[in-house]
């Protein structure tokens, strides 16, 4: 989670919401990193999770990320939760829960929906205070 937090911190320069993600394999090696880049790239799909999953798939040379863990500072939205399922990620470790948009147990539970072709194990609240503080500080600065 500390690596994901470092990615989130790097969002400050672009003005993106500070969310960071990493994908690690079974041995704990980092395969992909991502941070929100919607503002920087002008791309509505440039969420930290999607970028980390793309990088991990490129590193692996295939789209299936079986055996991998996605670590992210904020509970994934519906798009990112769906991408996590479709990539066949085994585990999702998240920091802060997102009651407004979260799709890993808060608003929805896409990653554990047994009607889908893959179910993801979820561990939430990891370094939640640090993850929440980063988001709170960002939005406090925006409100000025």
Active site (catalytic) residues:
49
Give the 3-state secondary structure of 56-119: HHHHHCCCCCCCCEEEEEECCCHHHHHHHHHCCCCEEEEEECCCCCCCECCCCEHHHCCCCCCC
Tokens 């479709």 -> residue: 86
DSSP for residue 14: T
């Amino acid at each position: 989670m500390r690596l994901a937090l470092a990615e989130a911190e790097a969002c400050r320069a672009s003005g993106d919401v500070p969310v960071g993600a990493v994908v690690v394999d079974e041995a704990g090696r980092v395969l992909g990193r991502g941070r929100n880049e919607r503002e920087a790239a002008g791309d509505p799909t440039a969420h930290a999770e999607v970028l980390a999953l793309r990088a991990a798939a490129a590193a692996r040379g295939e789209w299936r990320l079986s055996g991998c863990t996605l670590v992210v500072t904020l509970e994934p939205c519906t798009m990112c939760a769906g991408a996590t399922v479709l990539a066949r990620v085994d585990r999702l470790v998240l920091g802060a829960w997102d009651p407004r948009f979260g799709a890993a147990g808060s608003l929805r539970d896409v990653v554990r929906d047994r009607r889908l072709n893959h179910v993801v194990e979820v561990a939430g609240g990891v370094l939640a205070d640090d993850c929440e503080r980063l988001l709170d500080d960002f939005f406090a600065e925006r409100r000025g």
